Amino acid sequence: MTVLHLALAQMTVRAGDVAANLVAAGRLLAEAMAATAGAGVDLVILPELWATGYDWPVIHTHAAPLGEGLWLDMAGLARAHGVHLLGSLPLAAGGRVYNAAVLFDPAGAPVAQYRKTHLFGPMDEPAHFAAGDALPVFDLPWGRTALALCYDLRFPEQFRAYAAAGATVVLLCAQWPVRRIAHWDVLLQARGIENQCVVAACNALGEAMGNPMVGHSAVYGPWGETLAHAGETESVAVARVDLASVMQARAAFPFLADAGW
């Protein structure tokens, strides 16, 4: 695959209203497929905790192992639309609950999983989630890919570790508040520039524990160029990503090599 067509499904996440969120996700997936009917879409990204929002009783009620509960619903959405689908949900594993991003392939099979490493104290994440302890990179049809979740964006060493492991694309799901949205825009672009990679991030709309969110889902290229931006309304942003641009950028300005890679 030399070109990746991806869509950011910037949805209003209604905290605690799983039924409404499932309907919204399905509607936006249908919109994404319709918007790319000519070229086709390879990947759709949903926000962080897209089905539960930050409602702790609901999160614990719906925490499930892969292959059960909301994970089955998400796999069904990927299969129904014939597309790779990424989003985060509460994962029950080993007696713990994780905020996990999972990528399903068009057949509904999980092909990549990441457990949030940096838990956000102001949202009480450390009291409810266990922290992940791995930074995996995956070989996917469009190339070496890594996953991240919201607060991880503030930790450049995580993204540098991904680049060092050969990642050319980083996909991120978030519930990032409006009060720090300027940080979001700058940090996403910076992670693309400093690691010469593609960064694609889907943020939510709605409210999380009293914190309003405003979207700004975006895709940035290895030179920091804006490939897509969703603005501040519920919408689908589509990007055409030339995957060769990453290696071209790294060859034209090889500062990563000067770091000893």
Catalytic residue check, 173: no
Q: Is 31 a catalytic residue?
A: no
Residue 194 designated active-site: no
Distance CA 115, CA 40 (A): 29
CB 235 within 8 A of CB 224: no
d(CA 142, CA 9): 19
DSSP letter at 164? Answer: H
One of 31, 68, 116, 225 is an active-site residue; which one? 116
Choosing from 125, 150, 197, 202, the catalytic residue is: 150
SS3 18: helix
In whole angstroms, give the CA distance from residue 101 to residue 150.
11
β-strand pairing of 43-45 with 84-93: parallel
Query: Which two structure tokens, joined as six digits, stand for 235?
Result: 């919408």
Contact 84, 40 (CB under 8 A): no
User: Which residues are catalytically annotated?
Assistant: 48, 116, 150
